[in-house]
Structure 1
Amino acid sequence: MPIEFTPWPEDFARAYREKGYWRGESLTQILRGRCAIDPDAVALICGDRQISYAEFDARSSQLAENLARRGIKAGDAALVQLPNVAEFYIAFFALLKMGVAPINALFSHNRLEMTAYAEQIEPTLLIGSAEHALFLDGAYAEALTKSFPMLRLVAIHGTTAYAENLALLTEPGDEAFGFNQESSAPDQVAFFQLSGGSTGVPKLIPRTHEDYYYSVRRSAEVCGLTPQSRYLCALPAPHNFPLSSPGALGVFHAGGTVVLARDPSPQTCFDLIRRHEIDIAAVVPPIASLWIEAAADGAAPLATLKLLQIGGARLGDAVARRIPCALGCRLQQVFGMAEGLVNYTRLDDDEERIFTTQGRPMCPDDEIKAVNAEGERVGPGEVGELLTRGPYTIRGYYRSPEHNARAFDAEGFYRTGDLVQITEDGYVKVVGRKKDQINRGGEKFSAEEIENLLLTHEAVMDAALVSMPDSLMGEKSCAYIVANDDDLQALALRKYLRSLGVADFKLPDRFEFVGQLPVTAFGKIDKQTLRDRIQTKLNA
């Protein structure tokens, strides 16, 4: 049975098909198409392994064959958790070929999240990694099997005593190879993504073949990918940004090569960039800051790197301006969401647009608007919550009617929760989150505004501003600072902000200097953890 999801209204679906956004093609066409053009081209580099498109296709089909023989069938769901290894993509395409919809959990997720995902999709298949603490032994897999009787098969990447070896399931067997099952229909759910909320278990985002394939194709076009493109996947492979914006799928669509990094550190990535002549990479702002610092220590130049994409969180203007000089490459800002909408600065944009905006929507039929608290559209340059709908933006989360009623308006626009300014020419500037505000005695301001100003100080590497409770004012603010100068003091930063003309009520009431900021599984600064820390400190 097809997996249920909230469909686009028929008049919208008809228009998206007529305009060629939806072509009636499955995501499996990405791999099939490249095999028809250049099967011997290198698709994946993972450690010492180089995997051609032909081998990639054959291994994913072999895995699909072996899973089918073990009772996994079209309409089933799978729970997948793998690190940045080639088997992630092999398993992804195998499941697409079978019509099995996976949740691709991040490797940083643990028992709470994994169990919650299983409760939502009731998987028949679990794919994990022996590198993860959950799967060092069979206890967790056994507990899941007891809780979810429909879970028929556990396959683990790595050798264990309790499960099938995933890598072996991709190897040609003694029996005749003959997998020919069709994927799910192009207008049906291909897989689930996870919402990027900072608290609670992420909601499930059902992505259809048609809507996601359009996002991949258009992203590859906007970013200028070619068969010569070599892309570094240093962020968690399942995340929407390195998967499709343009990500690995965009590179596969173009016929290029994806090089996998097990972590995004400059020590790991700079070596891979040099060794494999990588020309495009994607990171989040905190990682970009680390790369800049490493380059200043003499770890660069990275002669082949032409384009660095920054997404996942707002990039401060000051850091943005440092990238071309420090790393010797162009910057592209990417502002997107797993729910759909993706904005890019264009490769031919002027520097000011690239440094100060998060781009514009990639599709002519991406509808965006910024609205005030009453839901009324605000004018160009005014701050409002970003709402959007379009041919690759979902119309509802999976089995979440109550949440959907809040997350979507009556016209089907998705409420992103991002506070933005939309320029006259349609570029988006992210200024914060709707709930990421400080309310200091009735004076409200965006935390991100102050963070961006703090980041312009030469000694500040990273900054996060959070609210802390105050009996008189209701809330005050606390700035967490990662500095490259051990002598930096709160007084100096307050003076610096005053010198920029910042209103007194916006000045942080407290500063905490830390070695690094905690991040969520999606690479965003974990402000809830910071709020909890300052609350504990105040209580003490």
Structure 2
Amino acid sequence: MNAALDGLTPWPEELAETYCKGGCWQKQNLASWFTEKVSNKENIVLSGLGIDGKPQDLTGKELHLCVQALAQGLAKLNIQPSEKVVLQMGNTNSFVITLFALFELGAIPVMALPGHRYREIEHFLNLTKARTWIAGDNEENSPIPDLAVKLKEGVPSLQNIILDKQDTGPFHSLGSLLENNEILESTNLGHAADPAGIAVLLCSGGTTGLPKLIPRTHRDYLFNAKASAEVCELDEKDGYLVALPAGHNFPLACPGILGAFEQGARVVMCPSPSPDIAYQWITDTNATVTALVPPLVRVWLQNAELGFETPSTLRLLQVGGSRLDADLAQRIPNELGCKLQQVFGMAEGLLNFTRSKDPDLLVQKTQGRPLSELDEIRIVDNQGQDVPSGQRGELWTRGPYTLRGYYKDQKANDSSFSADGYYKSGDLVRRLSSGHLIVEGRIKEVIRRGAETIPAESLETHLSLHSEIKAAAVIGLPCERLGQQVCAVLVNQKETGPTLTLNEVRHFLIEEGVAHFMLPDSIEYVPELPFTAVGKVAYQQLISTFSNPSPKTTH
């Protein structure tokens, strides 16, 4: 069996033929595409922090040489075509170089996120049988070195730990792997990769348990990026600022890094989305397009209220990740001085965009319409029956860039896909006569804290393991800065006596290997959890109770 197809649920032959004839799928892989788009460019195509932590500009030729050199260095570690490699890096030039070096080798990156810790990384390593973890971030007090030690001790199959730091101790240094490498043909094995095979494994922002992995093929992911770039009207005069964590689907390929390279635009790896840092990078590089989540939009608007002007080169702000309030949407053109594009998508595939010619009302109050004419949409009730037009229901979808199954997770596939291959998104939407969608929530409880999706049920499971906690409910409370903050509502095991502090709860969860971004921002105690008439936790009641807590109840 072709190793690149291992863990991939294929599209039915008749649909695959339709997608090929429709021009969605091309006979090209990411390695050969990257060489074609970048290798001969004399202009700057990538700006960001280099390995030394200083700003670095790379022309297309320079970037391509760096990619080839690193591919040669990685080949010395015996990384093979179709081998999985867990990639967990911040927004630096090294992220881009490493990603395409892996494509050059024909290896398959597993896109871990910066906030992932031992529990998630161990899961990815074991599920994919990856022997290599490549990691780095922009933090001064980085948790990565300690995590490296813990992974080395706890995962026997992990053979190669590569850190994007100058002082890596006993581990491999990305910089040393880049140096003194003769460019050999043996490193471009990725150019022979099957376009129908897995190119990258994305992380699902799902609602329960450990993250699922999403197999994206070369041909579907290239279509994803190319079509997105066209909708955003990117061209060679643009600069795309990567403000959100680069391992997310949104800044990677919607249009993101891939879409920018497709159109000859410059990619700018911004180390932080905060206005004081992002604005400087926009100014220094003349960036024109970026993407944010709604809580960050609020921060940028607050910055404008204080009299700080958004750099004049910014022409388009994409907003996605969760629903953008209409009142914020209306403020963006006047206060930030750029056009708004709403984006509603998922790493599993389907993308919806508002278009530049859409009336203001649709741009401000909807989350866009599907990217491709071959995207198929159903909006169904809880019995799987289509609802009348304009009514709310769960979004089901299939299409040329939407997965047909998660990576090696039959249990999830059984519950997440219909018999005829529609992906059950869990999103509650309404569809207008124009085809635009309005997102109205999710079926399962998730908390959207900044750019991260936190499954309440998973965190509740961890909390319930503590000997002093009888029961736990996790809720999202309104937060101007983050959109929502995480609140753990706890029932003490003993009716009287001391209760755990917030720091004690957070420390326990860290010891359990819970990702840092999932840790509670606050805790509250109740004698018993409230329940609905059908025996479910009354989350809305808890949210109403603690949205404006008294000073005595916040720990």
The answer to whether structure 1 residue 153 and structure 2 residue 137 are counterparts is no
The match for 1:434 among 434, 443, 466 is: 443
Shift of 1:182: 3.3
In the other structure, the counterpart of 1:45 is: 47
- Decide whether the 8 Å contact of 1:344 with 1:359 is kept in 2: yes
CA RMSD after TM alignment = 2.8
The answer to whether structure 1 residue 164 and structure 2 residue 172 are counterparts is yes
The answer to whether structure 1 residue 181 and structure 2 residue 218 are counterparts is no
1:503-518 residue pairs with structure 2 within 5 A?
508-512=544-548
In the other structure, the counterpart of 1:14 is: 17
- Decide whether the 8 Å contact of 1:467 with 1:478 is kept in 2: no
In the other structure, the counterpart of 2:123 is: 116
The match for 1:370 among 379, 389, 410 is: 379
In the other structure, the counterpart of 2:26 is: 23
Shift of 1:466: 9.3
The answer to whether structure 1 residue 475 and structure 2 residue 482 are counterparts is no
In the other structure, the counterpart of 2:494 is: none
Q: Supply the distance in 1 between the matched residues of 2:285 and 2:194 (Cα, whole angstroms).
A: 37
In the other structure, the counterpart of 2:370 is: 361
- Determine helix, strand or coil for the equivalent of 1:15: helix
Shift of 1:171: 3.0
The match for 1:127 among 123, 128, 134 is: 134
- Unpaired runs of 5+ residues, structure 1, are 438-453, 481-507, 516-535
Q: Supply the distance in 2 between the matched residues of 1:127 and 1:461 (Cα, whole angstroms).
A: 29
Q: Do the aligned partners of residues 293 and 100 (structure 1) sit closer, same or farther apart at CA in structure 2, a change above 3 Å counting?
A: same
Amino acid of the structure 1 residue aligned with 2:530: D
The answer to whether structure 1 residue 240 and structure 2 residue 243 are counterparts is no
- Decide whether the 8 Å contact of 2:295 with 2:481 is kept in 1: no
Q: Supply the distance in 2 between the matched residues of 1:418 and 1:256 (Cα, whole angstroms).
A: 33
Amino acid of the structure 1 residue aligned with 2:248: H
Amino acid of the structure 2 residue aligned with 1:470: P
Q: Supply the distance in 2 between the matched residues of 1:233 and 1:422 (Cα, whole angstroms).
A: 30
The match for 1:139 among 143, 146, 149 is: 149
Which deviations, in whole Å up to 9, do the C-alpha atoms of 1:475-521 show, x marking residues without a partner? 263687xxxxxxxxxxxxxxxxxxxxxxxxxxx45532699xxxxxx
The answer to whether structure 1 residue 194 and structure 2 residue 203 are counterparts is yes
Amino acid of the structure 1 residue aligned with 2:242: C
Amino acid of the structure 1 residue aligned with 2:150: Y
In the other structure, the counterpart of 1:307 is: 316
Q: Do the aligned partners of residues 320 and 76 (structure 1) sit closer, same or farther apart at CA in structure 2, a change above 3 Å counting?
A: same
Q: Do the aligned partners of residues 168 and 371 (structure 1) sit closer, same or farther apart at CA in structure 2, a change above 3 Å counting?
A: same
Which deviations, in whole Å up to 9, do the C-alpha atoms of 1:174-211 show, x marking residues without a partner? 68676332342100001100111244211000111011
Shift of 1:75: 2.2
Amino acid of the structure 2 residue aligned with 1:350: P
Q: Do the aligned partners of residues 334 and 346 (structure 1) sit closer, same or farther apart at CA in structure 2, a change above 3 Å counting?
A: same
Q: Supply the distance in 1 between the matched residues of 2:366 and 2:215 (Cα, whole angstroms).
A: 29
In the other structure, the counterpart of 1:531 is: none
Q: Do the aligned partners of residues 179 and 315 (structure 1) sit closer, same or farther apart at CA in structure 2, a change above 3 Å counting?
A: same
- Decide whether the 8 Å contact of 1:466 with 1:478 is kept in 2: no
Amino acid of the structure 2 residue aligned with 1:82: M
Q: Do the aligned partners of residues 191 and 462 (structure 1) sit closer, same or farther apart at CA in structure 2, a change above 3 Å counting?
A: closer
- Determine helix, strand or coil for the equivalent of 2:80: coil
In the other structure, the counterpart of 2:79 is: 72
1:356-435 residue pairs with structure 2 within 5 A?
356-435=365-444
Shift of 1:140: 2.4
Shift of 1:152: 3.2
Q: Supply the distance in 1 between the matched residues of 2:187 and 2:371 (Cα, whole angstroms).
A: 37
The answer to which of 398-407 and 191-200 deviates more is: 191-200
Shift of 1:323: 1.0
| TM-score, normalised via structure 2 length | 0.79
1:55-94 residue pairs with structure 2 within 5 A?
55-94=62-101
In the other structure, the counterpart of 1:260 is: 269
- Determine helix, strand or coil for the equivalent of 1:71: coil
Shift of 1:363: 0.3
Shift of 1:139: 1.8
Shift of 1:537: 5.5
Amino acid of the structure 1 residue aligned with 2:98: A
The answer to which of 181-190 and 401-410 deviates more is: 181-190
Q: Do the aligned partners of residues 461 and 129 (structure 1) sit closer, same or farther apart at CA in structure 2, a change above 3 Å counting?
A: closer
- Decide whether the 8 Å contact of 1:42 with 1:256 is kept in 2: no
- Determine helix, strand or coil for the equivalent of 1:59: helix
Q: Do the aligned partners of residues 307 and 174 (structure 1) sit closer, same or farther apart at CA in structure 2, a change above 3 Å counting?
A: closer
Amino acid of the structure 2 residue aligned with 1:360: R
Amino acid of the structure 2 residue aligned with 1:475: A
How many residues are paired up? 470
Q: Supply the distance in 2 between the matched residues of 1:335 and 1:54 (Cα, whole angstroms).
A: 35
Q: Do the aligned partners of residues 191 and 471 (structure 1) sit closer, same or farther apart at CA in structure 2, a change above 3 Å counting?
A: closer
- Determine helix, strand or coil for the equivalent of 2:190: coil
The match for 1:218 among 194, 216, 227 is: 227
- Decide whether the 8 Å contact of 2:117 with 2:147 is kept in 1: no
1:520-539 residue pairs with structure 2 within 5 A?
none
- Decide whether the 8 Å contact of 1:310 with 1:331 is kept in 2: yes
| TM-score, normalised via structure 1 length | 0.81
- Determine helix, strand or coil for the equivalent of 1:333: strand
Q: Supply the distance in 2 between the matched residues of 1:510 and 1:74 (Cα, whole angstroms).
A: 52
In the other structure, the counterpart of 1:494 is: none
Q: Supply the distance in 2 between the matched residues of 1:472 and 1:212 (Cα, whole angstroms).
A: 43
- Unpaired runs of 5+ residues, structure 2, are 50-54, 447-477, 490-528
Q: Supply the distance in 2 between the matched residues of 1:465 and 1:128 (Cα, whole angstroms).
A: 27
- Decide whether the 8 Å contact of 1:384 with 1:420 is kept in 2: yes
Shift of 1:167: 2.1
Q: Supply the distance in 2 between the matched residues of 1:34 and 1:432 (Cα, whole angstroms).
A: 39
Q: Do the aligned partners of residues 323 and 18 (structure 1) sit closer, same or farther apart at CA in structure 2, a change above 3 Å counting?
A: same
Q: Supply the distance in 2 between the matched residues of 1:75 and 1:467 (Cα, whole angstroms).
A: 41
The answer to which of 124-133 and 205-214 deviates more is: 124-133
- Decide whether the 8 Å contact of 1:335 with 1:342 is kept in 2: yes
The answer to whether structure 1 residue 290 and structure 2 residue 299 are counterparts is yes
- Determine helix, strand or coil for the equivalent of 1:512: coil
Q: Supply the distance in 2 between the matched residues of 1:475 and 1:187 (Cα, whole angstroms).
A: 46
Once the two structures are aligned, what percentage of the paired residues are identical?
34
- Decide whether the 8 Å contact of 2:80 with 2:105 is kept in 1: yes
Shift of 1:142: 2.2
Q: Do the aligned partners of residues 279 and 202 (structure 1) sit closer, same or farther apart at CA in structure 2, a change above 3 Å counting?
A: same
1:328-347 residue pairs with structure 2 within 5 A?
328-347=337-356
Amino acid of the structure 2 residue aligned with 1:15: T
Shift of 1:325: 1.2
Which deviations, in whole Å up to 9, do the C-alpha atoms of 1:277-323 show, x marking residues without a partner? 11111000000000000011011142111110001111111111111
Q: Supply the distance in 1 between the matched residues of 2:234 and 2:368 (Cα, whole angstroms).
A: 18
- Decide whether the 8 Å contact of 2:104 with 2:187 is kept in 1: no
